[in-house]
Amino acid sequence: MSAAQGGLSQVAATAARLETIAARLLTWGTRVALLLILVGVIDMAVTGVVPMAAATFPPYSLVAIPGQLAALRPEGFIWAGLTLLVALPLGRVTVSGAGFLAAGDRRLALVSVLVLLVICASVVAALGLEG
Amino acid sequence: MITGLVLLVGGAAAGVFGSLLGLGGGVLIVPLLTLGFGLPLRESVSVSLVSVIVTSSAGASVYLKKHVANLRLGMVLELFSASGALVGGLVAFLLSEQVLAGLFAALLLWVAVSMLRRSGRSEAPAPAAAAAADDRDPPGEPTFTDTLAGPGYRVRRLPLGMAGSALAGLVSALLGVGGGIIKVPAMHLAMGVPLRVATATSNMMIGITATSSAVIYLLRGQIDPFVAGPTAIGVFAGATLGSRIAHRVDTRILRLLFVAVLLYTAFEMAQRALGL
């Protein structure tokens, strides 16, 4: 086996390991997120919340979610589930990026960081537009 | 209560059809919420993006576990799809509902035509992949593109894939779809990635693409939790069911029926765009 082939097979082995870790993260994260949303939907039915019945809906606020959960409000469970859901792909990129870095693949680690920076730019842009 | 159930069932139907026909649910959810429930298009797009993330995360976990999705290639391309989605998510707030409806009608028409062309065609090896087999570089230090290859295939024309991914991200953010309709052909036809790998990698990338714009919709207060919750649960249940019954369903007739639905929906959306 040449040095180049050896390098590529090492890359493939690292990728396979990372794919397994990312798969576990997505599997369990999706389950928990959907469970939270399901509890929120059941809570909607129990408390008589009708979608689109009111002109407005509870606004999203990350800091308000723990309070809404403590009060067993349906929007609290749904917001918590949606927040986790949106965070999952970011978690997958973070785990992969860390794995690439640990394997010495700086180029792909950098790409992972750039992907996360684009998401950060989305957050900043959204907050900027809101302001 | 009834509205919540209808949203759940509607989401499930979108999930089943999307799963059986290899589409994300977005193409169906946006018209369902806009035409069926009278929700503003921008709010429908935001709810659809949430459903897209659900199906992507659930599907990608399976594809990654089976090592079908190409994580390295996906990571590179999703940098461009996420950038496209960031731009799209911002542009979406500058466009009128009528313009968005017109764009959505055009997208539905495109999907319908693509499905008709695909109908009855068997899966062929990627043209660029076939060429790659006879086009081996002499052994040496692997290039960056070489390191993105998978078992049995090499990656070609990376810049074309990057451009396709950026376009897919833009369309995804504007119209609330996954963008697989652009990403899969870009990877399969232009880059020589086998169709199965292209589909799996696209599915994985869609999560980040949708997240880039979903964050903007979420923080701008455009997502209604009471609509997004039941729809997301329905889509997940439908997509799970769809993947289990896929081998028992004759998708040729289903595809033609679906094309008819898409054309009708495109017509309705075009009417809305024209203010009729």
Give the separation between CA B116 and CA B87, rounded to whole angstroms. Answer: 31
Averages of pLDDT over runs of 10 residues in chain B (276 residues) are 86 82 75 87 89 85 82 93 90 86 88 74 50 50 80 90 92 84 86 87 87 87 92 90 76 77 84 80
Neighbours of B248 (CB within 10 A): 6
Which candidate, A57, A48, A127, A89, places its Cα nearest to that of B223?
A57
A-chain CB neighbours of B65 within 8 Å are 19-20, 23, 27
CB pairs under 8 A between A and B: 206
**ipTM of this complex:** 0.84
Predicted confidence (pLDDT) per residue in B198-243, tens digit: 888 888 888 888 888 888 889 888 899 999 999 999 999 988 888 7
* Interatomic CA distance for residues A120 and B83, integer angstroms: 11
Query: Scanning every residue of chain B, which has its alpha carbon at the shortest distance from the alpha carbon of A48?
Result: B1
Contact residues on chain B for A111, CB-CB shorter than 8 A? 75-76, 79
pTM: 0.83
When divided into structural domains, chain B yields a total of 1
Q: How distant is the alpha carbon of residue B118 from its chain centre?
A: 16
- Phi then psi for residue B139, to 5 deg, are -60, 140
- Structural domain containing residue B108: 2-135+142-273
- Residues B194, B125: contact at Cβ < 8 Å? yes
> Look-up: residue for tokens 């900027």?
A128
Q: Do B1 and A50 touch (CB under 8 A)?
A: yes
pLDDT tens by residue, A15-70: 777 778 888 888 899 999 999 999 999 999 999 888 887 778 898 999 999 999 99
Q: Contact, A39 vs A77, CB < 8 A?
A: yes
For residue A130, what pLDDT is reported?
A: 60
CB contact under 8 A, B139 and A23: no
**Residue holding tokens 């950038």?**
B83
B128 touches B190 (CB < 8 A): yes
Q: If you ran DSSP here, which 8-state letter would residue B146 be given?
A: G
Give me the torsion for CA of B135, B138, B141, B145, rounded to 10°: -10
Which of residues 222 through 241 in chain B touch A, CB cutoff 8 A? Answer: 223-230, 232-233, 236
Distances (CA, A) of B178 to A49, A75, A105, B24: 30, 25, 29, 6
From CA B236, how far away is CA B52, in angstroms rounded?
10
